[in-house]
């Protein structure tokens, strides 16, 4: 759905917050998966501020996705929202057809969507394992494989995968999540080598503990213990991940590929 017609009278954002001057992603088109809230929402906002048009993917939160799109429209972006479970290849294929028809071919793919189903491994059932792998790892394959022809004809093809510090250092109760995110890191490095001949850069961002709904659900006593492990002694903000994504999408990072950018306050070095 396009929201440009609804911009007049919309008070979602103070116009004075819109950055002035050169916008690094002017004329670029991006698809951000899992963009209805948290890190995905912040990435959409920052991409819009930098001049990109954005296709906003969501799985279930239609109202939240609509609000993200309206916010981006008020920043001057053209947006399109589409519901799809990225773990389902057929739904991703149908999303691609809709994006091509109503939005156009993308230059930038941000594989952000992810879920967690935390349990100690001895109590983890096959469904909890399969579902996390299906979304977090297979979803990156589904979107990248499906939209690859778009990126190959773009003069500035970019793939940015959102992995996690947990995929680097592991975490109790998150064997499935850690495995999926470590897999994304491996995919990033291998794809970077394969797609370099097509002038497509492939990079990943590994957030630490970021102030999202996932972290909000952690008990306060556990949060205190986590903070003691972070040298900067605070959780990150979604906007800090978004700024990293804009950098990797821009020409400033044109000679960077196969890299995992840690944004974790020094928790994992």
User: What digits encode the pLDDT tens for the residues 242-258?
Assistant: 999 999 999 999 999 99
Which pLDDT belongs to residue 21? 59
Tell me: the pLDDT tens digits for 155-204?
999 999 999 999 999 999 999 999 999 999 999 999 999 999 999 999 99
Which pLDDT belongs to residue 1? 55
**Could you say which of 58, 177, 255, 268 is catalytic?**
177
Spatial separation of the C-alpha atoms in residues 205 and 39, rounded to whole Å: 11
Query: 89-102 vs 138-153: helix axis angle to the nearest 10?
Result: 30
Q: The pTM is what?
A: 0.92
Which pLDDT belongs to residue 216? 82
CATH 3.40.50.720 assigned to domain 26-263? The reply is yes
- The segments of the chain whose pLDDT lies below 70 read 1-21
By C-alpha distance, which of 172, 48, 176, 28 is closest to 104? Answer: 28
Domain boundaries, the chain: 26-263
Kindly provide the residue ranges of all beta strands, DSSP E only, lying in 42-157, ordered along the sequence: 53-58, 79-83, 108-111
Kindly provide the residue ranges of all beta strands, DSSP E only, lying in 11-52, ordered along the sequence: 29-32
Which pLDDT belongs to residue 251? 96
Strands 29-32 vs 108-111: parallel, antiparallel or unpaired: parallel
Would you call 177 a catalytic residue per the annotation?
Answer: yes
Q: Decide: helix, strand or coil at residue 143.
A: helix
């Amino acid at each position: 759905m396009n929201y440009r017609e609804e911009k007049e009278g919309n008070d979602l954002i103070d116009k004075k917050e819109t950055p002035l001057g050169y916008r690094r992603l002017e004329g670029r088109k991006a698809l951000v998966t899992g963009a209805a809230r948290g890190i995905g929402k912040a990435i959409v906002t920052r991409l819009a501020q930098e001049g990109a048009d954005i296709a906003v993917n969501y799985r279930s939160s239609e109202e939240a996705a609509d609000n993200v799109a309206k916010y981006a429209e008020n920043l001057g972006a053209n947006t399109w929202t589409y519901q799809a479970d990225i773990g389902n290849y057929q739904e991703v294929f149908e999303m691609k057809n809709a994006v091509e028809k109503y939005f156009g071919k993308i230059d930038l793919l941000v594989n952000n969507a992810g879920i967690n189903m935390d349990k100690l491994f001895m109590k983890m059932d096959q469904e909890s394992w399969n579902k996390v792998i299906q979304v977090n790892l297979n979803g990156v394959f589904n979107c990248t494989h499906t939209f690859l022809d778009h990126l190959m004809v773009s003069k500035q093809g970019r793939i940015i995968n959102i992995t996690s510090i947990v995929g680097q250092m592991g975490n109790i109760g998150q064997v499935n999540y850690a495995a999926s995110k470590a897999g994304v890191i491996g995919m990033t490095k291998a794809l970077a080598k394969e797609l370099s001949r097509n002038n497509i850069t492939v990079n990943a961002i590994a957030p630490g503990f970021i102030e999202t709904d996932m972290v909000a659900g952690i008990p306060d006593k556990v949060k205190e213990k986590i903070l003691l492990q972070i040298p900067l002694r605070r959780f990150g903000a979604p906007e800090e991940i978004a700024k990293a994504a804009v950098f990797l999408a821009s020409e400033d990072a044109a000679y960077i590929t196969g890299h995992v950018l840690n944004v974790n306050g020094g928790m994992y070095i």
